[in-house]
Amino acid sequence: MFLVLFFAVGCTSSGITQNSTSANLSGNIVHITNTGFNPQVLTINTGDTVTWINDGSLPSWPASNTHPTHRDYPGSGIDKCGTSAIFDACGSLRTGEIFSFTFNNAGNWSYHDHLAPSITGTIIVK
């Protein structure tokens, strides 16, 4: 089974894997379920890429906090969709779709599902 990749109109993203099955994905993966992100907290090194895969039946839109502006991660912001690779999927991921982002700034970076802001997670970058 091949994953369908989602690119929101005008949005660029970093590290998208094309024509990849979930079995081929490795490394730092966050699974999106209907009830939240798994793992909810992930620790990585500076320069590592994290991939979110929507395993749920509902659409999801992972993005940097704070809702609704998405500006907590340096250089990010919902208003910057389409201008550069930012910590924002810039649109809904349907079942099986993925979003990848490379973290080049150390810190504790909280994020949320823009479509369900009470669903949150944290990426700890050392």
- Per the model's pLDDT, the better-predicted residue between 16 and 77 turns out to be 77
Could you tell me if residue 8 is inside a domain? no
As beta bridge partners, residue 78 has none
Residue type, 49: T
Contact 53, 60 (CB under 8 A): no
Q: Across all residues in the chain, what is the average pLDDT? A: 85
pTM above 0.85, yes or no: no
- Per-residue pLDDT band for 84 (boundaries 50, 70, 90) equals confident
The CATH code of the domain that includes 31 is: 2.60.40.420
In a domain, 9, yes or no: no
> What CA–CA distances, in Å, run from 48 to 66, 114, 117?
22, 23, 25
Number of domains the chain contains: 1
* Positive or negative: CA dihedral 94, 2, 86, 66: positive
Domain for residue 117, yes or no? yes
What angle is formed at CA 67 by the lines to CA 47 and CA 18, rounded to 5 degrees? 45
pLDDT, one tens digit per residue, over 35-59 is: 999 999 999 999 999 999 999 999 9
Task: Give residue 71's domain range.
Answer: 22-125
Structure-model confidence comparison of residues 26 and 83, the more confident one: 83
pLDDT score, position 9:
32
Residue 88 falls inside a structural domain: yes
Name the band, by pLDDT with cuts 50, 70 and 90, for residue 3. very low
Tokens of 82: 């389409």
Residue 7 belongs to a domain = no
